[in-house]
Chains A and B, each alone.
Chain A
Amino acid sequence: MSDLRPDLAIIAANVAPGSRVLDVGCGDGALMAALRDARNVDARGLELNPANVASAVGRGLSVVQGDADTDLLYYPDASFDYAILSQTLQTTRRPDTVVEDLLRIAGQAFVSFPNFAHWRGRLSLLWGGRMPVTRLLPEKWYDTPNIHHLTIDDFRALVKERGWTIDGQWFLKGDRQTGDANANLFAEHAVFLLRR
């Protein structure tokens, strides 16, 4: 599982072996394949991009082409142990509804997203007066798929407002984990494990 993107590696390391997982925005299925092969996980995927779906199905994974905003409602309650939403939250039309759906479908949900309040982004906006373009957020404001930028503190506020429980949280600076202290300023990326 060492080839996985750092946030996916964190998720993979914390999924219980033999569990049932729904990976929403699963891309070409890299995480699903790792979970299947290393942890004997029954993984299903949902992915918007047809080329990614074809790749994932071509490697033997169960992946459905669809949209997190519109297709999650067809999954029955409590049908998975975990739902995973990695680097996808900020691209959805209603991130709050999507997370609600994940917690309805699965007992726990991993949610990972880039932190818009990282100091580099703040400097760029404060001094440059321009929307930040960074390693994790490489697109310009007009062509970005990220339509709901958020910060770690924004997400924590949403969790509190909805009464969800945080079972785990991990923060990344570059490819390395970093501490909780001042994560909103220093972390480029966050992974939360939630339950209802």
Chain B
Amino acid sequence: MTTIAAPLDDRFGLDRKVTLPGPLRLDGGGVLASVDIAYETYGSPNADGSNVILICHALTGDQYVASTHPLTGKPGWWTRMVGAGKPIDPARHLIICANVLGSCMGSSGPAGIDPATGGKWAMRFPVITIADMVRAQAMLLDHLGIGRLHAVIGGSMGGMQALTWPTLFPDRLESVVVIASTARHSAQNIAFHEVGRQAIMADPNWRGGDYYADNRPPSAGLSVARMAAHITYLSEAGLTEKFGRRLQGRDAKTFGFDADFQIESYLRHQGISFVERFDANSYLYITRAMDYYDLAEDHQGSLARAFERTKARFCLVSFDTDWLYPTSESRIIVHALNAAGAQASFVELSSPFGHDAFLLDVPELNRVVDGFLRAGERG
């Protein structure tokens, strides 16, 4: 493998896309003959290429971690963590973020083209897992000439990928940062996802996933799925503080089924704006991958065994109001890391924002991540 060095060629930069030769054999038995990966990079490699950080995005995230989203025009989804003077800084790091396998922002997924038929994959796309997403990321690193990562970092589903990395490629990374995440999807997690999937599939526009030709996607179903999921990203206290029982643009209840309450109006807005940027079939595939995720199951039921072969340092952060992936799930990971003798740090931070805290302004989170990354950059 070639060592990367500046100046960088056109494999690096914003809005990159590559088709990598396969086959990529998937956990579910499917095979992808080739893999499309859409990604962005920021910054440059240092002299020995030891400053590469891979950022893994969450369920509805994308590769636009620190640049403007092409569809919404909004700033990158993690500019609080990534940017000049931030813990992950293009001045110090070569940063890579790739759209996950199964997603809809340019990487192979149901909304993409099946090279065998030239048509949309739709539900003919093979079912994927979190580990498959990680394997696709490793293919991208091979393509970029990057052997070893300084760190892999992610929140929520990004944390699942980050945690899977050292189990598949124990020698390929120095450190792992897992924020507001878990080592397995619980029955409750699966339950909420199933509600979302059923909402999509119950929409008459879904039509078994073949809705691309006439551009009439199951927007109502996807919107309801997003609304249900969005509730799980917020804390009860946060909702009460932000909305309470306040009415939306009216002085009295209408005794009808309009969005009387602010929280209703807010959720409807979340649902409607989501369908403009996300594909319903992708939502089915990615939530399924999350539901199938159980890192211990892949290692004879022992999570500690999953981490036995790695020398990586780990940093885990949970939030006290996150009930989607609560602190107890992070503790299970920490106990397994201790049992495996791994170098682990863990802290539960306080935030009113629930699961979404990892995307929001939590200064302590930046301090912890910054200190952890810099500790691996000494000498």
Chain A interface (Cβ within 8 Å of chain B)?
Answer: 44, 50, 53-54, 56-66, 71, 74-76, 79
Contact = CB atoms under 8 A, between A and B. Distances in A.
B91 to A, nearest CB: 20
Interface in B328-374: 331, 334-335, 338-339, 341, 343-350, 364, 367-368, 370-372, 374
A50 B347 contact: yes
A59 B344 CA distance: 14
Interface string B181-217: 0000000000000000000000000000000000000
A34 to B, nearest CB: 15
B335 A44 contact: no
A128 B96 CA distance: 68
B368 A57 contact: yes
A60 B334 contact: no
A44 B372 contact: no
A107 to B, nearest CB: 15
B227 interface: no
A61 B375 contact: yes
Interface string B302-335: 0000000000010100000000000000010011
A56 B368 CA distance: 9
Nearest to A75: B338
B348 A65 contact: yes
B378 interface: yes
A33 to B, nearest CB: 11
B339 A63 contact: no
Contact of B349 (A54, A56, A60, A76): A54
Contact of B346 (A58, A61, A64): A64
A74 B302 CA distance: 13
A58 B343 contact: no
Contact of B344 (A50, A54, A56, A64): A64
Nearest to B363: A54
Nearest to A71: B335
11 contacts: A54-B349, A57-B345, A58-B368, A58-B370, A63-B345, A64-B338, A64-B344, A65-B346, A66-B346, A71-B335, A74-B339
B255 to A, nearest CB: 47
Contacts of A65: 346-348
B126 to A, nearest CB: 38
A74 B304 CA distance: 10
A65 B368 CA distance: 13
B302 to A, nearest CB: 13
B371 A58 contact: yes
A117 B64 CA distance: 63
In this complex, the interface size class of chain B, counting residues with CB under 8 Å from chain A, is: 20 to 34
Interface string B259-281: 00000000000000000000000
B338 A61 contact: no
Nearest to B313: A62
Contacts, number: 64
B313 to A, nearest CB: 7
A13 B179 CA distance: 37
Nearest to B347: A53
Contact of B338 (A54, A56, A74): A74
A44 B364 contact: no
A66 B343 CA distance: 15
A56 B331 CA distance: 18
A50 B371 CA distance: 15
A66 B328 CA distance: 11
The interface centre, meaning the residue of B345, B370, B374 with most chain A CB atoms within 10 A of its CB, is B345
B371 A60 contact: yes
A54 B343 contact: no
Contacts of A60: 371-372, 374-375, 378
A89 B344 CA distance: 23
Find the residue from B339, B346, B347, B348 having the highest chain A CB count within 10 A: B347
Q: Which of A57, A71, A75 has the most CB of B within 10 A?
A: A57
Given A58-B370, A60-B378, A44 B346 contact: no
B344 A62 contact: yes
Nearest to A52: B347
A44 B343 contact: yes
Given A50-B347, A58-B371, A71-B335, 12 more contacts: A53-B345, A54-B347, A56-B345, A57-B345, A58-B370, A60-B375, A61-B375, A62-B343, A62-B345, A64-B338, A64-B344, A64-B346
A184 B331 CA distance: 40
A106 to B, nearest CB: 13
B345 A61 contact: yes
A76 B371 contact: no
B98 to A, nearest CB: 27
Contacts of B378: 60
A54 B339 contact: no
Given A71-B335, A74-B339, A57 B348 contact: no
Contacts of A53: 345-347
B335 A57 contact: no
